[in-house]
Chains A and B, each alone.
Chain A
């Protein structure tokens, strides 16, 4: 269980997140919505241990983020908003590169299977020849090499075709259902969020998102 307790985040004098608390159970997919600049990426960075809250603390299964940063990182798969791949490497080389540096050892076959699970079948091709959808899939696959318990995805489906979008969505759903993973992700696609997520967190002041969300039966948390 991921437990966020009274988080506040300031950038200089600017208040980005103000006293936010929530918790997420294993097997849950939670969507993070809000207007641009609302603080979605900031929230994911905090959950990923990549930045520290100004106030408050976060716990993963009773492990404190403040005290056990290293152990917590081993359980987190973070998919950055920008595509973070070696562009001139092939899919295989990208996977092998990060497997070598990873906490977990995997065979090439296992790595290939990981890609195939999300319909990424271009194993030998250089990244810079791949479609946007393929790149997004690889971006996700690399973050999963060490079998993290928590998956944090920052706009994993932005700017890609509908088919890839569905394939990534289905994959995430399976991860939550079959492997009991905690998944938090942000998106601008409200339809996608509504169909995929068990709960939705709405950050920011903009009433637009809250109004759309009010029309669904999803469990919505607003701040």
Chain B
């Protein structure tokens, strides 16, 4: 193995630039796309001003709820700033949470809690105000329920006195417990609910997987180049069988690519906040084996390296469209479920470590190596 590595390093010394490019290409490309699209997304959000006249937990919770909305970008400003910005059309609309908001809610008073401004060009005022009002309603509703419970307790003269805060926190607890049940686990963004997943169609691991498939295919052009050359007869007079020479190179390539893959996990962890866990590591290793073996076996079928490049791009494009990692095409994969199983991205994105792709490729590679072929003559 040491001598195989040494010979491979001589090759790499000659092509280090293109080698380096294709090794880091999946990391760079997926980060670039993620950043650009989140910038665009940020830009297309509706700018809305918020003025907090009081800093009570309830007022701040309201602000947080609005901030969580994927369609709104919240600017915290003063009332004067808000008016100026609306005049300059920098804000679509602004909402002022009046001093005494929490107190009024506790008292069950829902009127005049919030003042709003809108620009004369505002197109989002109505939906945004609806949303804000619904959050206020929610708070008010909880308050009303609490008052009702306390009133009941008083009239029934129970010994256990329940406070307003206890009821509110209990109702929030129940609400969040119910939310938990509906939480879908997402590979890419930690817990998030269904709506969020629809909005972020670009997920970094999905993009990375697509680009990795492309770069792995292109990196394995050495199989074609070396088998085509007039040098093949020389490989009959070396210590290794030709197949063993190829196989050891495949192993070395896979090891180096695995190292680059771990770098990707680290970079995504640091830059996009992706979590690293054992399942992810397992999925990456499995995906790497699949990609390397598939690229190697595919390259063995080709004589013309340019045809191989063409097919590599076509395969990548097909997988990108088919996988939904880039475009949500649930309509298509929903209708043809087998499409998903043909897609090697599918097990990776679902973190299935042992999958049919991996097992079938290992079998094919084993058969290729075991059968005494022309290559070995």
Contacts and interface: CB of A to CB of B under 8 A. Distances in A.
Q: Do A and B bind each other?
A: yes
Interface of A: 48-51, 73, 76-78, 80, 82-86, 88-89, 93, 96-98, 100-103, 142-143, 146
A62 B10 CA distance: 39
Given A73-B237, A82-B230, A100-B3, 16 more contacts: A48-B236, A78-B237, A80-B230, A84-B233, A84-B234, A85-B231, A89-B14, A96-B10, A98-B234, A98-B238, A100-B6, A100-B7, A101-B238, A101-B239, A103-B239, A146-B237
B10 A89 contact: yes
Contacts of B240: 101
Q: Interface SS of chain A: helix, strand, loop or mixed?
A: loop
A102 B239 contact: yes
B90 to A, nearest CB: 59
A127 B60 CA distance: 73
B377 interface: yes
Interface string B1-12: 001101100100
B377 A101 contact: no
A221 B27 CA distance: 67
Contacts of B245: 101
Which of A78, A84, A96, A101 is packed against the most chain B CB atoms within 10 Å? A101
A162 to B, nearest CB: 25
B229 interface: yes
Contacts of A76: 237
A164 B240 CA distance: 33
Interface string B224-260: 0000011101111111100001000000000000000
Nearest to B230: A82
A142 B10 CA distance: 16
20 contacts: A50-B236, A73-B237, A78-B237, A80-B233, A80-B234, A83-B230, A84-B231, A89-B14, A93-B10, A97-B10, A98-B234, A100-B3, A100-B7, A101-B3, A101-B4, A101-B239, A101-B245, A102-B238, A103-B239, A146-B237
Contacts of B10: 89, 93, 96-97
Contact of A84 (B3, B7, B229): B229
A32 to B, nearest CB: 17
A105 B237 CA distance: 14
B239 A49 contact: no
A143 B14 contact: no
Which of B231, B235, B239, B377 is packed against the most chain A CB atoms within 10 Å? B231
Nearest to A94: B10
Contacts of A100: 3-4, 6-7
A96 B10 CA distance: 9
B237 A77 contact: yes
B292 to A, nearest CB: 22
A76 B237 CA distance: 8
Contacts of A101: 3-4, 7, 235, 238-240, 245
Contacts of A96: 6, 10
A50 B7 contact: no
B365 to A, nearest CB: 22
Contacts of B236: 48-50, 73, 78
Contacts of B7: 97, 100-101
Nearest to A143: B237
Nearest to B5: A100
Given A100-B3, A101-B245, A78 B233 contact: yes
Contacts of A84: 229-231, 233-234
A98 B7 CA distance: 8
A100 B377 CA distance: 21
Q: Which 7 residue pairs across A and B have the least CB separation, nearest first?
A: A101-B238, A100-B3, A82-B230, A84-B230, A84-B231, A80-B233, A100-B6
Contacts of B238: 98, 101-103
Contacts of B4: 100-101
Nearest to A104: B239
A83 B234 CA distance: 11
Contacts of B235: 101
B109 to A, nearest CB: 83
A102 B233 CA distance: 14
Nearest to A96: B10
A12 to B, nearest CB: 16
A76 B238 CA distance: 11
A49 to B, nearest CB: 7
Contacts of B231: 84-86
Contacts of B377: 50-51
Nearest to A101: B238
B227 to A, nearest CB: 13
Contacts of B234: 80, 84, 98, 142-143
Contacts of B239: 101-103
